[in-house]
Amino acid sequence: MEELGNTQFFTVEADSASVKEILHEVCEAMNDKGYNPVNQIVGYIMSGDPTYITSHMGARSKIMKIERDEIVEEMLKEYIKANHWDEQ
């Protein structure tokens, strides 16, 4: 049985620039098709089902090149930075 009193460390090593670029392109494609990118990306992250992402402009292929945990990490980093929580 694992020790529940210790904190586990989780690290993701991803090229942050390419994750940002892919998310930007995927959002662009979804907006272009009239989809809500937030809803669709959340659906994809939660389920792992790539059909939440449109194939328009190659968005589905692009998002499948990165792991879902990399997407969550990038979005959380940007959210923390935007709220200036990293300065505390």
Q: What is the pLDDT of residue 28?
A: 98
Nearest partner of 73 among 5, 13, 3, 6, judged by Cα: 13
**Pairwise CA distance, residues 4 & 84, whole Å:** 31
Q: How confident is the model at residue 4 (pLDDT cuts 50, 70, 90)?
A: confident
Q: How confident is the model at residue 88 (pLDDT cuts 50, 70, 90)?
A: low
Q: DSSP 3-state assignment of 77?
A: helix
Whether residue 37 has pLDDT greater than 60: yes
Query: Among all chains, which residue has been given the structure tokens 């049985």?
Result: 1
Nearest partner of 23 among 62, 54, 51, 49, judged by Cα: 62
Q: How confident is the model at residue 87 (pLDDT cuts 50, 70, 90)?
A: confident
Tokens, residue 55: 């194939």
Whether residue 12 has pLDDT greater than 60: no
